Amino acid sequence: MRSLPVLLALLASLTALAAGHEYHLNGQKLADGVYVFVGAREHFSRANGGNIVNTGFIDTTEGAVVIDSGSSRLYGEQQRAWISGHSASRRIARVYITHAHPDHFLGSQAYAEVPQYALPATRASIAESGDRLSDNLYRLVGAAMSGTQSRTPNLPAGEGRVLIGGRALQLIAGSGHTEADLAVYDEASGTLFAGDLVFYQRTATTPNADIPRWLAALQRLEAIPYKTLVPGHGPVVQGPEAIAQTRDYLRWLQSTLQEAARKGVDLPELFEQPLPERFRDLALARVEFMRSAEHLYPALELDTLQGQGSH
Amino acid sequence: MAASAWRRLALLLMLVTASAQAEIPADPLQSPAWRYLAQRYFGEAGVVFDPRVKLLLPVSAENPLSVPVHVDARALAEVREILVFADLNPIPVILRYQPGAQAEPSLGFRFKVQQATPVRAAVRTGDGQWHLGGAWIDAAGGGCTTPSLGTGSGLWKDHFGEISGHLWPRENGVQRLRLRVIHPMDTGLAGGIPAFYLDELQLQNGKGELLAKLQGFEPLAENPLLSFDLRNAGVVRVLARDTQANQLRGSVAP
């Protein structure tokens, strides 16, 4: 049966070719049994097929624990084929979906018979908006999305320590990037899969963000004695720089938008706002700042209009 | 009529047609609707694409129900009117703005977008010439055919027609006015909900003199949030009217 994974991988890539996208996923080993698939530091495009995300897995004697299934059915299938071909267990034990953004969960069809876990608010959000997010990703990346349908994780995840196949994982239930953001910490290797609570060298995205809650979540992650941190987007790090950069950017974003609202700046006028030197080299700095202004400014500017009356 | 006379008439007609078409310059945004819309909105008047008309808008619409746009034509003298439209929206015209002598030719607003489209600000100067600025916006779309959010929230039952605002002093004696009117701005394109929108808004100074006039259309976003720059020191009165002849009034003091 050793040839089965190889056969699966071959099948998956043939299917991908027929449908038009090969992701060339290649897991990087971070520690014994811990791997990451590093995505492009780009926006969604036809060329990257939606692979702008970091996913990964932790191998256990019961099978691999997959962290995020990627951006499409094809991504999930190719990810699963790679895991089956490279893990000692050659099985999949379960999948954790960190949050309800399309690049993180739309590969879940490839794990149809595998238990899939997510925080309750993440499950609710995928159930409600998954189809719309999937449709929009079709529009942005095209053929790589062939056959993709949103699947809601079938089991609830919660804060705490879980033992799977001789491996202790800590689940951290945060929020702020979205309504619910799961981080997974592997005790044995000291690897923290931070999900999109942490971005590095790639500008943070905010379509469902609550910055004060996000900053609180970063404080919790910082207290974890990790040796390796896998951000949701951007390169893997060993030190505190990724959390520090995410926090620095979010604080700057918040205060910049608040100050503009106090001055009566109109939202599109923000698009011309100069970015500080230290953020200019982050991937997608300008376009993500513009998007964030659209997401976060409307609530701030309405506050400045309170207390005036009509008659 | 002699054959030569017919020929002369035909030639004349061709010339008229050719000259009318020659006045429409090629579209830098390459919109499929450009020639049709240009004929419809500008007729025989001169049209030029002019970098002095600045249009700020997102690259892609994060919220198709509320795309923020800011038009700045302050680099042009004698601006009489600003017409803003989105070529590929089912209802292209978003607004017409007529700044008076005490209003700067700049404004901000939000609109509903139905699909990726060019968005344009056409600025008419005193000599009758139209100056155009514009850009494409990408959009997942659906903004015009989605029922307004307030329908479900009960906002209008309790707050319909309320006007809130604020004035900020700016450089050179200019005041930035931002105001918001609670109104559904129904396009008539969402199933079972007829068109219902603000179609006129006037800004006056404390003495009742007209500062600026805005004509609104269906694509203006729900609960319009508008920004104006006025050369006016004191209070600004707001008088608005919608398509059901509701008269809405408010005032914003510095």
Q: How far apart, in Å, do the first and last CA atoms of chain B sit?
A: 73
Which range is least confidently modeled, A24-38, B1-15, B163-177, B207-221? B1-15
The pLDDT, as a whole number, for residue B63 is: 94
pLDDT digits (tens, 9 = 90+) for A194-211: 999 999 999 999 999 999
Q: How confident is the model at residue B158 (pLDDT cuts 50, 70, 90)?
A: confident
The pLDDT, as a whole number, for residue A311 is: 46
Query: Is pLDDT above 80 for A52?
Result: yes
102-161 of A, contacting B, C-beta below 8 A: 135-136, 139
Query: Is pLDDT above 80 for A145?
Result: yes
Query: Is pLDDT above 60 for B167?
Result: yes
CB atoms within 10 A of CB A295: 17
What residues does B60 pair with on adjacent strands?
B138
The pLDDT, as a whole number, for residue A298 is: 96
- Helix, strand, or coil here: A255? helix
User: Residues 6 or more apart from A80 whose CB is under 8 A from it?
Assistant: A8, A12, A66, A92, A110, A111
Listing DSSP states for A64-107 in one string gives EEEE--BSSHHHHHHHHHHHHHH-SS-SEEEEE--SS-HHHHTT
Here the ipTM equals 0.89
As assigned by CATH, the class of the B45-252 domain is mainly beta
Query: Is pLDDT above 80 for B107?
Result: yes
B175 contacts in A (CB within 8 Å)?
Answer: none
Are residues A185 and A177 in contact, defined by beta-carbon separation less than 8 angstroms? no
Phi and psi of B253, rounded to 5°?
Answer: -100, 150
Q: Which amino acid is at A279?
A: F
The pLDDT, as a whole number, for residue B17 is: 47
CB nearest to A264's CB, from B62, B178, B180: B178
Phi and psi of A85, rounded to 5°?
Answer: -80, -15
The pLDDT, as a whole number, for residue B140 is: 84
Q: How confident is the model at residue B155 (pLDDT cuts 50, 70, 90)?
A: confident
The pLDDT, as a whole number, for residue A1 is: 44
12-71 of A, contacting B, C-beta below 8 A: none
B68 contacts in A (CB within 8 Å)?
Answer: 266-268, 294
| A308 near B CB under 8 A | yes
Query: Is pLDDT above 70 for B6?
Result: no
The pLDDT, as a whole number, for residue A6 is: 62
A310 and B168 within 8 Å at the Cβ level: the answer is: no
Distance (Å) from the alpha carbon of A260 to chain B's nearest alpha carbon: 12
The pLDDT, as a whole number, for residue B145 is: 81
**C-alpha–C-alpha distance, residues A186 and B108, integer Å:** 50
The pLDDT, as a whole number, for residue A75 is: 98
Q: How confident is the model at residue B148 (pLDDT cuts 50, 70, 90)?
A: confident
Distance (Å) from the alpha carbon of B44 to chain A's nearest alpha carbon: 33
**What's the whole-model pTM score?**
0.90
Distance (Å) from the alpha carbon of A132 to chain B's nearest alpha carbon: 10
What residues does B160 pair with on adjacent strands?
none
Q: How confident is the model at residue B15 (pLDDT cuts 50, 70, 90)?
A: very low
B62 and A294 within 8 Å at the Cβ level: the answer is: yes
**C-alpha–C-alpha distance, residues A263 and A257, integer Å:** 10
Domains of chain A: 28-239 (3.60.15.10)
pLDDT digits (tens, 9 = 90+) for A58-106: 999 999 999 999 999 999 999 999 999 999 999 999 999 999 999 999 9
Q: How confident is the model at residue B7 (pLDDT cuts 50, 70, 90)?
A: low
- Cβ-based contacts under 8 A for chains A and B: 82
Question: Distances from the Cα of A216 to the Cαs of A11, A243, B33, B126, in angstroms?
Answer: 44, 12, 50, 56
Phi-psi region of B4 (alpha: psi -120 to 50; beta: other; left: phi over 0): alpha
Residue environment code for A111-120, b if the CB has 16+ CB neighbours within 10 A, otherwise e: beebebbbbe
A208 contacts in B (CB within 8 Å)?
Answer: none
pLDDT digits (tens, 9 = 90+) for A225-261: 999 999 999 999 999 999 999 999 999 999 999 999 9
A269 and B164 within 8 Å at the Cβ level: the answer is: no
Nearest to B227 by CA among B52, B56, B51, B53: B56
Give domain limits for chain B.
45-252
| A300 near B CB under 8 A | no
Distance (Å) from the alpha carbon of A106 to chain B's nearest alpha carbon: 18
The pLDDT, as a whole number, for residue A8 is: 61
Q: How confident is the model at residue B147 (pLDDT cuts 50, 70, 90)?
A: confident
Distance (Å) from the alpha carbon of B153 to chain A's nearest alpha carbon: 17
Query: Is pLDDT above 80 for B36?
Result: yes
CB nearest to B249's CB, from A136, A139, A311: A311
DSSP A108: G
| B59 near A CB under 8 A | yes
**C-alpha–C-alpha distance, residues B159 and B182, integer Å:** 7
Question: Regarding predicted confidence, which is higher, A306 or A156?
Answer: A156
